[in-house]
Amino acid sequence: MKAFVRDNALGLAFGAAFLLTLVGQSLAGLADFNNQQLADGTDPVGYLDYVTSSSFAVDVAENWQSEYLQFFLYVFGTIWLFQRGSPESKPIHQLGRESDRDQQTGRHVTDGSPAWAKAGGWRTAVFSRSLGLLMGTIFLLCWLAQSIAGWAAYNSEQLGQREDPIDWVSYLGSADFWNRSLQNWQSELLAVGSFAVLAVFLRQRGSPESKPVGAEPGATATSG
Amino acid sequence: MRNVRAMFVAYLVIIAVGLGYFITLGVLHR
């Protein structure tokens, strides 16, 4: 148990904080939802009704999709795009997918390399892209979930206002769907872009996300 | 590494359960 906590402190801390904030969101979301219900002259709902509502689902899913889009773009973008001086960027001569020697593939695998890195062929091709592929797949599935839950929540509001519900394809072209998507994307892209650039000149001692405190501003791809 | 594999699986399960839950809610309420 002690070894498990030591080996997974980062994953456990963020996992626990995720669960706590999700519960917090559900409580604040319920209060907000019920304020709107009262303003509309309808009955407030209970906690269980709220956390099983499409309104709660779309609010969570829209944030999930944007986070995974951010990581998907960052994983792929940093293969090819350079940012001088950033600990998030590779040195300019290593841009691209790199050699087998750099990536410990082909005849450069070691005894400890993962089985699919040693296998060659399609398995190594898939494994070589597995992180980005999973992030991209989770993003697409979360965006799909957002679209379905958002569509249901939108139609529920439409019916409440005695207006006609719309079909899913029409919802994909709606202002509600794109407002929810873009408002999350813009903040993620700003945070990631600014982090890559701010870390050129600013430091956080001891963090692998930062360059060493004494590193030169022009030093790229160093972490401390 | 067995400890870390358990954590890896736990995160995949959280994501899969969340995704399944949101899609199910959307479909049920459509």
Interface of B with A (CB under 8 A): 3-4, 6-7, 10-11, 14-15, 18-19, 21-23, 25-30
The pLDDT assigned to A128 comes to 97
Sequence length of chain B is 30
**pLDDT (average), residues A9-32:** 98
The pLDDT assigned to B30 comes to 79
Q: Are A18 and A84 found together in one domain?
A: no
- Could you give the number of structural domains in chain A? 2
User: CB of A210 within 8 A of CB of A85?
Assistant: no
Give the end of a domain, one of A13, A31, A52. A52
Q: Are A16 and A89 found together in one domain?
A: no
DSSP assignments along A94-163, one per residue: G-SS--HHHHT-GGG--TTS-HHHHH-HHHHHHHTTHHHHHHHHHHHHHHHHHHHHHHHHHHHHHHHTT-
What confidence category does residue A40 fall into, taking pLDDT thresholds of 50, 70 and 90? confident
What confidence category does residue A223 fall into, taking pLDDT thresholds of 50, 70 and 90? low
Domain interval for residue A5: 1-52
Nearest to A57 among B6, B14, B22 (CB): B22
Residues B23, A145: C-beta atoms closer than 8 Å? yes
Q: Are A37 and A116 found together in one domain?
A: no
Q: Are A98 and A156 found together in one domain?
A: yes
Residue closest to A104 by CA, chosen among A92, A117, A94: A117
Q: Are A96 and A153 found together in one domain?
A: yes
Q: Quick: pLDDT tens for B2-28.
A: 899 999 999 999 999 999 999 999 899
**pLDDT (average), residues A120-142:** 96
Q: Are A192 and A85 found together in one domain?
A: yes
Residues B29, A144: C-beta atoms closer than 8 Å? no
pTM here is 0.92
Q: Are A111 and A77 found together in one domain?
A: yes
Q: Are A19 and A120 found together in one domain?
A: no
Q: Are A88 and A180 found together in one domain?
A: yes
Q: Is the ipTM of this complex over 0.95?
A: no
Q: Are A39 and A124 found together in one domain?
A: no
CA–CA distance, A41 with A49 (Å, rounded to integer)? 18
Residues A53, B3: C-beta atoms closer than 8 Å? no
* Helix, strand, coil % in chain B, rounded to nearest 5: 95, 0, 5
